[in-house]
Amino acid sequence: MSTYIELFLTFLQIGAVSFGGGYSILKSISHYVVDVNKWITLDEFNDIVAISQSTPGPIGINAATYVGYKVAGVFGSFLATFSVVLIPITLSIIMYWLYRRHSENEIVKSTIQKLRPVIVAMIASASLGFLQDSFGSIPGIIITIISALVLLFTKVGILPLMLISGVIGIFVFR
Amino acid sequence: MARDEKLEKSEKNAHEKGRAHKGPSLWEIFSITAKIGGVTLGGGYAMIPIIREEFTKKHDFLTDEEFTALLVIAQSLPGPIAVNTSTLVGYKLKKLPGTICAVLGSIFFPTIIILAIAMVIGEYYTVFKPFLNGMKAPLFSVLLITVLKMWKTDVRTLEDIIIFAVAFIIVSFLKFNPVVIILLGLVYGVIRSTVLKGERKNGK
């Protein structure tokens, strides 16, 4: 029972501060799931990020589903997924009403604007978790550099890039 | 203010034109969001034009203005943008049951797919591992370039740079809880923006 409660509270908190969407949630998840609770290893967490990038759905949902399953089976996966969206859904409905009655939108907007540098910092910090995958081997370093150039100078998306890199991985990371 | 008026106006317009929303059924709400959630890889902002298209053009459930007003709310809150938008669209159309169906729809396929992968991957982990390792190699670059792109729009003043640096260092190297740091950032933002608002009022 206590595992379920822990899973619920953990993903509830992670979801509550997942401003900015997408990658900004990664650092919160890895902090709780890898560093504090040790439910999965950093390597496994990185696997989840890679899988999430190539399947439909927001990364926060995907990570919650996967970790929930690892920790407490099928019910755990539904519980974690539910927990991570519970506060965003509740806040959305509250804001829907507030928004129609008063217009505090300016304050909300400028608050979020002030929060942006923190969000960018969380993504920068999350990137450090991938240093070993990217710079731990010669092929890794080559893929990292080529990926950066491809992303900067071409219109190739993240998904084809990762799939190609995955296929290369079959031959070089055995 | 302007947004409020816009929202009301668009509602009024819809009434005047005599096209009060043809109420979608709960099943329709679920199936539309499920379809969108099931085909959009990577999630995020890529989904927004598709959600808009489905609810305002293909099905005449919302006006474009109404959708835009909801989107503004969705963007300012925590949570995946697709889930927040689904919540609000569902709520506007069918109150709480609408929200539940819209959210269940938007996370239906993602959850099933990840659950299936989680169940299978344990058994064949060594088989998948080289492929996964290959897929992980570009992720550092992906995140770094995301940071660079966001930097241009989000980190503009000296104050922003200091906030970035402090948050980055204490979370990365001193292992502070990111959830707490984001909350502190939020509190700081609220204080700063109320102060700014007060200053502007006094200035006038």
**Angle B158-172/A105-127 helices, nearest 10 degrees?**
50
pLDDT band at A112 (very low <50, low <70, confident <90, very high): confident
Asked if A162's CB is within 8 angstroms of B135's CB, the reply is yes
Asked if A140's CB is within 8 angstroms of B142's CB, the reply is no
Asked if B119's CB is within 8 angstroms of A91's CB, the reply is no
- Among A86, A128, A24, A7, residue whose Cα is nearest residue B186: A24
Q: Mutation test of the interface with chain B: which of A89, A108, A135, A172, choosing the one with the most B Cβ atoms within 10 A? A: A89
Q: pLDDT 10s digit of each residue in chain B, 204 long?
A: 455 555 555 555 544 444 444 678 999 999 999 999 888 776 677 788 888 999 999 988 999 988 988 998 898 899 999 999 999 999 999 999 999 999 999 999 999 999 999 999 888 888 899 999 999 999 999 999 999 999 999 999 999 999 999 999 999 999 999 999 999 999 999 898 888 777 766 654
ipTM of the complex: 0.93
- Residues of B within 8 A of A163 (CB-CB) are 135
Q: How far apart are CA B148 and CA B8, in angstroms?
A: 39
Q: How many CB atoms lie within 10 A of CB B165?
A: 14
DSSP 8-state class, residue B46: G
Q: How many CB atoms lie within 10 A of CB A82?
A: 19
Q: How far apart are CA A67 and CA B98, in angstroms?
A: 28
Supply the pTM of this predicted model: 0.88
Q: Contact at 8 Å (CB) between A26 and A49?
A: yes
Q: How far apart are CA B82 and CA B107, in angstroms?
A: 9
Distance from CA of A27 to the nearest CA of B (A): 7
Distance from CA of B135 to the nearest CA of A (A): 4
Q: How far apart are CA B47 and CA B74, in angstroms?
A: 13
pLDDT of residue A7: 96
**Kind and range of the H or E run holding B123:** none
* Neighbour-count burial of A107, counting CB atoms closer than 10 A to its CB (0-12 exposed, 13-18 middle, 19+ buried): middle
A131-170: burial string, b at 16+ Cβ within 10 Å, e else: eebbeeeebbeebbebbbebbeeeeeebeebbebbbebbb
pLDDT for A9-57, tens place per residue?
999 999 999 998 789 999 999 999 999 999 999 999 999 999 998 899 8
- Residues of A within 8 A of B146 (CB-CB) are 22-23, 123
Asked if B43's CB is within 8 angstroms of A169's CB, the reply is no
Reading the block at residue A53, the tokens are 């990038």
- Residues of A within 8 A of B168 (CB-CB) are 121, 124-125
Q: How many CB atoms lie within 10 A of CB A101?
A: 8
